[in-house]
Amino acid sequence: MRTIHNAGANKEIRKKLRNNATLHEIILWSRLKSSKQGFKFRRQHSIGKYIVDFYCPQKRLTIELDGSQHIEDKQYDEERDNYLSNLNFTVLRFYNSDINTNLEGVIQKIQGCLN
């Protein structure tokens, strides 16, 4: 069976993304990594040809933070979401503005998918 998680071809890209995280990714990661959610999360995890911002393997949950660049990439995002959904992953998307204005609401929505 072909490995679809963290393929070696994406290793350097994932490392670069982790080392150059956006402020919004740093804020959310600080909440997810603390294990207060009761589940382990990974950041910049590849699934197939896609790299997701955050991934919870126990719940097959992916989390994407969308900045302004995603306004122009809607088709790409739809293709990615369909790919992940077809593999039985749950995909949550949040705008960066959600992190700025409603972080607790974002955390509650994530917790709802974890329970």
pLDDT by residue (tens digit) across 10-20?
A: 788 888 998 88
- Give the rounded percent of residues in the chain with a pLDDT score beyond 90: 65
β-pair partners for 95:
66
At 37-55, the pLDDT tens digits run 689 999 999 999 999 999 9
The Cα–Cα gap between 29 and 84 comes to 21
Q: What mean pLDDT is reported for the chain?
A: 89
Q: pLDDT for 76-94, tens place per residue?
A: 889 999 999 999 999 999 9
Query: What is the spatial order of strands in the sheet that 61-66 belongs to?
Result: 42-47, 50-56, 61-66, 90-95
Q: How far is CA 9 from the centre of its chain?
A: 19
Q: Cα dist. 9→38, 41, 62, 68 in Å?
A: 31, 21, 20, 27
Q: How far is CA 112 from CA 27, 79, 80, in A?
A: 19, 25, 22
CB atoms within 10 A of CB 3: 9
Q: What is the pTM of this model?
A: 0.88
Domains by residue range for the chain, with CATH: 8-114 (3.40.960.10)
58 band by pLDDT with thresholds 50, 70 and 90: very high
Q: Mean pLDDT lowest for which of 65-69, 79-83, 106-110?
A: 65-69
